[in-house]
Amino acid sequence: MSVPLYSPSEEHEMLREAVRALADEKIAPRAAAADENEEFPADVYKDLVAADFHAVHIPEEYGGAGADALATVIVIEEIARACASSSLIPAVNKLGTVPLLLSASEELKTQYLTPVARGDGMFSYALSEADAGSDAAAMKTRAVPDGDHYILNGTKSWITNAGISEYYTVMAVTDPTAGPRGISAFVVEKSDEGVSFGPKEKKLGIKASPTRQVILNNVRIPATRMIGAPGTGFKTALATLDHTRITIAAQALGIAQGALDYAIGYVKQRKQFGRPIADFQGLQFMIADMAMKLESARQLTYAAAAKSDLAMHGTPVKDLTFFSSAAKCAASDAAMDITTDAVQLLGGYGYTRDYPVERMMRDAKITQIYEGTNQIQRMVMARQLLK
C-alpha cells in the first residue's frame, strides 16, 4: 500500500498555533465545568464561530473556510486537547455535511452548507437506531413518498449534538425489499413538524455534548431534501464514514496529547523519595511509550487525511476505507492507553476530578466506540485486505 506524501505546510502550523491559543485561553478553562454540569458549551460554539473554526471543512463556494482534511484534523486535535466535547462541534458539523458534499444536488448544498458555514446552525448525522448499531443497514426508520414529499417515521438513537443541531442527515428505508440498496438519505430540520428529541443519555464521557434520540413522527419533507438518488443513502453513509472516521482519530489524538502534556508537567514537579518522580526510569519508560503510540497514530491519521483529500477531489483512492478505519482504530486505542497511563502517573490525584486526566480517560473511551466500534473497524480493514 502506498502512502501519498504529505507534509503540514506553514499554514497548517500557523493554524495549529491559532487554534491552540484559542483553546488554551477560552476552551480549556471551561472544560471541567462543562463536563461536571453536562451542559453544551454554547459560549465555546460562539468563540469557534467568531474564529471560523466551527466547520472549517466547508468549501469556500458555500461561504466556508475551505480547509483541507489535514487542516480539519489539526483544528479538531487542538480543540480536543482542551475539551473533547467541544471538539465535536467541528467534527460533527463535518460528519453531518459530508453526505451533502459527496452526493447532494448543488441546490441542496447551497441551501444547507451556507448556514452551517455562517454559524447559524450545526449539522448532525442520524444513522444508528436502537437495534441497528454495528448492523446499520438493519434500520427501521421509514420514508414513504407522498406526492412531491416524503413522510418519515422512526427513531434514530445516540445522535451526537441532537437537539442543539438545526439540521440532520437522516438515513431511512424507502424500499424495504431492497436491503442496504433500499436506504435513502434526507436532510431533516429541527423545526420540521413532527421532529422531537429523547432525553439526554447519561454518559461516561463527552458529557458536554448532548447525545439524544431523534424522533420522527409523520415528518413531511419535500422530496428535494433527498441527498442523491433513491436507494443510495447507505452507500453515502458509509462513504461519509471513510472521511469522518479520520476526524474521530483526530479527536482521539487531541485527547491523548492533552493527557500526555499534563502528565509530563506533573511528573517533573511531583516529588517522592526526595526527587521528582520523572527521575524514575519506570515512569520515563511509560512516558516514552505514550509519546511513541501517539506519534505513530498521528502519522497514520495524517496519511489518511491526505488520502481523504485526494478522494474528495475526485482521485480514486482504493485504500481510503482501510486507512480511515486504521487511523480511527489506532488513534482511539492509543488514546485509551495513553489517558489510562496519565491517570496512573498522577496516582491518587489522577483518579480525582480535581485533575483533568480522569475526564480525558472517560472521554477517550467513546472514540473506541462511535463511528463504528473498533471491532467493526478491524472487520472493515480485514474485508479490504482479503477481497
Q: Is 21 helix (H, G, I), strand (E, B) or coil?
A: helix
Q: Which residue is nearest to ligand CAA (CB)?
A: 372
Q: At what angle do helices 69-82 and 233-269 cross, to 10 degrees?
A: 50
190, 166 contact by CB (below 8 A): yes
Instruction: Measure Cα distances from 356 to 47, 83, 257, 259, 279 in Å.
Output: 22, 10, 12, 8, 23
* Of 96 and 258, CB closest to ligand CAA: 96
**Amino acid in the structure at residue 268:** K
CB of 64 to ligand CAA, least distance (A): 20
CB of 69 to ligand CAA, least distance (A): 16
Cα dihedral 306, 315, 313, 51 in deg (nearest 10): -10
What are phi and psi for residue 147, nearest 5 degrees? 65, -130
Closest CA to 125 of 57, 207, 40, 214: 214
Active-site residue among 77, 78, 129, 371?
Answer: 371
- Between CA 53 and CA 71 the distance in angstroms is 10
All three cell numbers of 53, joined, read: 473554526
* Of 127 and 252, CB closest to ligand CAA: 127
331, 324 contact by CB (below 8 A): no
* Of 137 and 310, CB closest to ligand CAA: 137
DSSP run (H or E) holding 38: none
The CA angle 140-141-145, to the nearest 5 degrees, is: 120
Q: Which residues contact ligand CAA by CB under 6 A?
A: 92, 95, 125, 127-128, 134, 136-137, 160, 180-181, 234-235, 238-239, 241-242, 321, 370-372, 376, 380
- Residues linked to residue 145 through DSSP beta bridges, in sequence order: 150
* Of 128 and 343, CB closest to ligand CAA: 128
All three cell numbers of 72, joined, read: 480539519
CB of 181 to ligand CAA, least distance (A): 5
Catalytic, 166? Answer no
* Of 239 and 317, CB closest to ligand CAA: 239
Catalytically active residues are 371
